[in-house]
Structure 1
């Protein structure tokens, strides 16, 4: 009898346990469904876009996914990613700064699948933990944690048809154990596009320039990641990237110059431009958990080096005397960056304290040589040759404090101190420049959450330091008369950002912002006789007032749409140039639509429209630019095989703009092969075993080598 009761009790216990387990699974599934419905989240210092909750963002690469995020704009024609209403932003992966730009950045993002992205954080006013360098904001792509144990991998191929055909391929192979993690990624791309650029300068003399150019890129980049858990609380790891890049341009330029006495000169220049750019990046880290409450020490070091070896040959026919001038220029640029940092995270019952220190060292040497070609002989022109050396050291320390007050209030405040010592030297002229500056960079954030409403306020101060190419006085000649160069006397710009944000029901988001930029710099062009010369100057201060708003929702279960808009007003003052500024304004909007065409959600049509109306900024006017993109997405083999077909810039729009000075005006009318057809095929393989976490390494300085 006792045995019978034991059996009954055992069966009853098993049944109850199974029911509890079943109920728990159902609850987890319900919770997951609820989480998936939260497309947007607003925190004290950032807006979060949950990629897993967006049907439109499935079956894409990271660059396409970013274009679906409210407030973000991806311009593949110009190789730019920006926050609407703001300017230059940095891109991070799990808090690690990519420090890539242009096509290199976009091709890197194309190697990341949206299925591997958990969320994207838009940080318009970055906190003190991050480098103060940068114009306005940071985009942080958070990848899904815990890649599969054992072997897993991914293969992706993209075909693109512009004027010329191109393709890119990337593959990754990972192997994970409980303690050891490794991955090898290989990326290759070979692409080209046609550009048609027109630039006109009108003043007492006139200059009309047209360039028809074929741009070409080839790159083979292996990336190796290794990590090992020394113990339960300690982990070490490293990442090595070798980028073997080759690029080239074939250019035909015609230039008409009309002098003040109305005499006319015409130039025809054929240019052959080739560059080799092998780059090495080595990063290492050590993480130590100090206790079970989340206290953690992180130490990281980074090293970057490349050798840009460029050869440019051009031949210029001068119409007035039918003379031909053949020129060869060579340049060798060797930037080198080292950084080391330590970060300490200390969560307590009274709040979380973060603090850390960082050291960065930048070095660059460059050597430009100019040769006139006569009867097959190269005769060096030492008056046009240039040597340049640059060294910069930055010392930084920061501290921040974050605290949540009940269920409604969250705040964060921080302070960062940066001290910079820099010196540049031009041996060919015997001239140099030294400067030192130290600045404090405060930041503050507060948010309030009540039911479906979230309010936030943020402030941060930033610095925008010139890149090495901005500072380098190299003369990059396009013909024997015209060139562009950097300016070693450039000084940093400073930016103050204020923003008031609001989110409703995780679908509607809006923000009002004010941005004050002081001592900003940019490129200025002017005419000197036959020469069209471009250089960089600190020349304006800017005040921006803006409004962003977006709404994303799903209708009829098959239609996901996202509508966003931005409006801004600005006024500027200028110095170092003769120009009259006007009060500026801008307005842009976009509508993105994804239509699911079957019940299994394996076939989808997307149709996106983006329109920037004419706008003014400082002394510039930019014309309207509408863009229509459409395509199909197909998922097969339980979504392991994905095929996308996309047509971009269907109407083949051109970029047009004007600049106005007191004594002249300048006009741009360019087409950069924006219309394209793209076919992408992606296949993912690997088991679904237990998962572990992966560390990403922070290296925020590398973009200044560009």
Structure 2
């Protein structure tokens, strides 16, 4: 056999074997030939397969909850009960998070700061609530709970950060959606909106507009046990809110490695409330009615914000090195007015002489915020390095006034008028290093923030200045024992600067005996947090954590047993210790059921430096939640959800909390190849989500029972149109910290 014959023989054998291995049926298309001892010619004819494969789309639904190294991810797109809600309602359905009177907190720990697309929102109270309520949950991709944020994030927020990631799927061609929602609690609320995305060559455009309008009717019951009297106040009010908001943005690919963009966000809130506050005063000794205070009030708030972002992203090389620069401007304003009157009735029902009075309290506030932020991410062969800087400049100006009506006009009370001017400038630097060695991963970071504040109050006729440089270290250590078991240890130090609302000395009167005001000399608090966790097969996660907070601040209702005056005011007075053990488990036992459950046990100890309060308070608490999604057909076009949580009694600062629980149900139907969605849900089915707590100030016990009209029926319709082959574009604008503390 010649060399040529041997080679050809081998090629024939290899070709026949390969075809046979790919598909036995194809052997029928290969003509049989003989292998000769001399030069051999081979005739091989392969026929074109009759089957033409078209594009195949594989869509795998994300689990509702994912546990990652430094955060817990709630995939909002997979939530049924949250469909058709606003973002604030959606957050309240996330296991481990609570929303009480529009305030967001982590169970067993306390309040948490909020980011949207990695930008810390500097709003608080009603303003933060209005902003989050203006964003439909259908626009949210996921919500990240970052308990111990790395150094690249601002150090603001003692209990970590909550990052709301909005959808921004800018596709080839046109894509968009429209939605309509109707909900009914004590009163109805309607919402409508839509978004539109367009991508062509190097240009991407995106926009959305939303409008929400409706009422809720909360109730607040307060009992104050004075030595000789018991004051019981019932505040029944109806809040009406109209919230239009919108966004417009563009990205442009200047070159292969350079992306630039700009965006605008804006919104306005028109809020008014009608209140009826009835306070009965009982004689403690004889248990007889002494008198009754009746106050009718209405409040008007007109607020709005404008936010502009400019960014540049430059990729340095193919290894992933890049630089991101953000410039942001944020402007916020509000104008508040509250009219109220007071009547005092004697125990026989007659009107007390000269008891009728009418008042007006008013406030205007303007906030301007400028930030410049630069971040560099540099991956190398043996480690990953990131560093950056940020400059922020904030000015907050507020003008408060108080009037009493005499005859036919309101006369100013100069003793209760004030102009407050506050500025805060911060310069920050950070560096972060990541290193992986076999089964070990280490991340070390250090952030330095130098802050200068100046508060000028015309009422106090003095200026309060502060300069402080603080260092905030972070550390993460991960050990992957095997494919099933991963251990992680993390530490960080953080700061909690007061929200602007807490600094504003504006007084908000409930009646002539009770009002709330800010504290312009409130200082930031600091915390140290340590957590050890274990994850098994991405199914079971267990963790133990410890948190220490010093110079903590909270609202204290200062009560005077002689004058019966009640003043609610924030002050620095708490040193807190938090210990927590947490278990969460995600199960998919059958194809039609996905279940996520969580159990937290926590112990809190709070020490007070105020002589008016208890010296210390401690307590053990527990929290359990379960969220279960059911699929009623194989293609998951019809699905349902049942969510339940229970929280035992415990403590929060120097308040004793009572137990409460909540049950939600939801149903969703998809049609037209999942382009059209119908959803219905009922929240707080048992009307059991009532916030109850007690506190002790000046040896006077205070008891609170508040219900915020949380039982609600919601119906939602959403239609998606356009190209559905998304090519997501992600970027992170830069005024991360400052928008959160606004108001």
- Judge same fold: TM > 0.5, yes or no: yes
Cα displacement string for residues 149-195 of structure 1 (whole angstroms, at most 9, x for unaligned residues): 11111111111101111111121111112211111110110121111
In the alignment, which of 497, 501, 505 is matched to residue 529 of structure 2? 497
Shift in Å, 1:377:
1.7
2:262 aligned to 213, 221, 238, which one?
238
Q: Of the candidates 634, 650, 661, which is equivalent to residue 599 of structure 1?
A: 634
- Equivalents in 2 of 1:293, 1:349: separation in Å? 9
SS where residue 571 of structure 2 aligns?
A: strand
CA deviation after TM superposition for structure 1 residue 461, in Å: 0.4
Counterpart CA distance in 1 for 2:706 and 2:548 is 30
Counterpart of 2:448 in structure 1 is: 417
1:132-171 matches, within 5 Å, as 132-142=155-165, 146-171=169-194
**Which residue number corresponds to residue 411 of structure 2?**
379
After superposition, what is the alpha-carbon deviation per residue over 1:272-306, rounded to whole angstroms, capped at 9, x for unaligned?
10011121111111111111111111111111112
Q: How does 1:117-136 map to 2 (within 5 A)?
A: 117=141, 120-136=143-159
2:571 paired residue among 518, 537, 551: 537
CA distance in 2, matches of 1:326, 1:63: 35
Contact 1:96/1:697, CA 8 A, preserved across alignment: yes
SS in 2 for 1:561: strand
Select between 503-512 and 428-437 the one with higher mean Cα deviation.
Answer: 428-437
Please say if residues 118 and 163 of structure 2, whose CA atoms lie closer than 8 Å, have aligned partners that are also in contact.
Answer: yes
Contact in 2 for aligned 1:93/1:140 (Cα 8 Å): yes
The corresponding residue for 1:368 is: 400
Counterpart-to-counterpart distance in 1, 2:327 and 2:531: 33
1:27-46 map, 5 Å: 40-43=66-69, 45-46=70-71
Aligned match of 2:279 in 255, 280, 284? Answer: 255
Tell me, which stretches of 5 or more residues in structure 1 are unaligned? none
For residue 242 of structure 1, report the CA deviation from its aligned partner: 1.5
1:642 aligned residue: 677
CA distance in 1, matches of 2:82, 2:700: 50
Tell me which stretches of 4 or more aligned residues in structure 1 moved more than 4 Å. Answer: 4-12, 35-39, 48-52, 54-69, 98-102, 141-146, 257-265
Aligned to 1:470: 502
Match of 1:440 in 2: 471
Counterpart Cα distance in 1 of 2:405 and 2:43: 100
1:192 maps to which of 211, 215, 221: 215
Q: Is the Cα–Cα contact under 8 Å of residues 495 and 518 in structure 1 kept in the other structure?
A: yes
8 Å Cα contact 2:476/2:491 also seen in 1: yes
User: Which residue of the partner structure matches residue 351 of structure 1?
Assistant: 383
CA distance in 1, matches of 2:147, 2:522: 26
Q: For the residues of structure 2 that align with 1:412 and 1:544, how far apart are their CA atoms?
A: 25
Whichever of the two has the greater Rg, that structure is 2
CA deviation string 1:102-154 (max 9, x = no partner) = 5335424524346xx3x553321011101101121223345667531111111
> Is the Cα–Cα contact under 8 Å of residues 619 and 661 in structure 1 kept in the other structure?
no
Q: Secondary structure at the match of 2:617?
A: coil
Distance 1:369 1:681 in 2: 45
Between the aligned partners of 2:274 and 2:587, the Cα distance in structure 1 is 47
Structure 2 gap ranges (5+): 1-29, 32-40, 346-351
Instruction: Confirm or deny: 8 A CA contact 1:174 1:183 kept in the other structure.
Output: yes
Alpha-carbon offset, residue 8 of structure 1: 8.1
From 670, 689, 692, the counterpart of 1:656: 692
Specify the SS of the correspondent of 1:307. strand
Which position in structure 2 is the counterpart of 1:488?
520
Q: TM-score, normalised by structure 1?
A: 0.90
The CA deviation at 1:247 is 0.8
C-alpha spacing 1:40/1:165, structure 2 compared with 1 (3 Å): closer
Match of 1:674 in 2: 710
Change (3 A) 1:37 1:650: closer
Are 2:331 and 2:367, in contact at CA under 8 Å, matched by a contact in 1?
A: yes
1:704 matched residue in structure 2: 741
In the other structure, the counterpart of 1:620 is 655
Following TM superposition, by how much is the alpha carbon of 1:375 offset from its aligned partner in structure 2, in angstroms? Answer: 2.2
Residue 520 of structure 1 pairs with residue 532 of structure 2: no
Aligned to 1:95: 118
- For residues 132 and 42 of structure 2, the distance between their equivalents in structure 1, rounded to whole angstroms, comes to 64
1:451 alignment partner, one of 471, 483, 486: 483
Q: 1:329, CA displacement in angstroms?
A: 2.4
Root-mean-square deviation (CA, aligned residues, Å) is: 3.0
Question: Residues 574-594 of structure 1: CA distance to partner in whole angstroms, max 9, x if unpaired?
Answer: 102431423211101012122
Task: State the 1:538 CA deviation.
Answer: 0.8
| In 2: Cα distance, 1:691 partner to 1:238 partner | 19
Most deviating of 389-398 and 320-329: 320-329
Matched, 1:392 2:424: yes
Superposition TM-score, scaled by structure 2 size: 0.86
Aligned match of 1:275: 301
Shift in alpha-carbon separation, 1:617–1:51, aligned structure 2, 3 A: closer
SS in 2 for 1:132: coil
1:205/1:402 Cα in 2 relative to 1: closer, same or farther (>3 Å)?
Answer: farther
Distance (Å, rounded) in 1 between the aligned partners of 2:136 and 2:42: 59
CA distance in 2, matches of 1:345, 1:253: 56
Give the Cα–Cα distance (whole angstroms) in 1 for the partners of residues 398 and 135 of structure 2.
30
Q: Distance in 1 between matches of 2:682 and 2:402?
A: 43
Q: Distance in 2 between matches of 1:367 and 1:261?
A: 45
Shift of the 80–508 alpha-carbon distance from structure 1 to 2, 3 Å rule, reads farther
Aligned residues, how many?
A: 686
Task: Give, in whole Å, the separation in 1 of the partners of 2:46 and 2:729.
Answer: 38
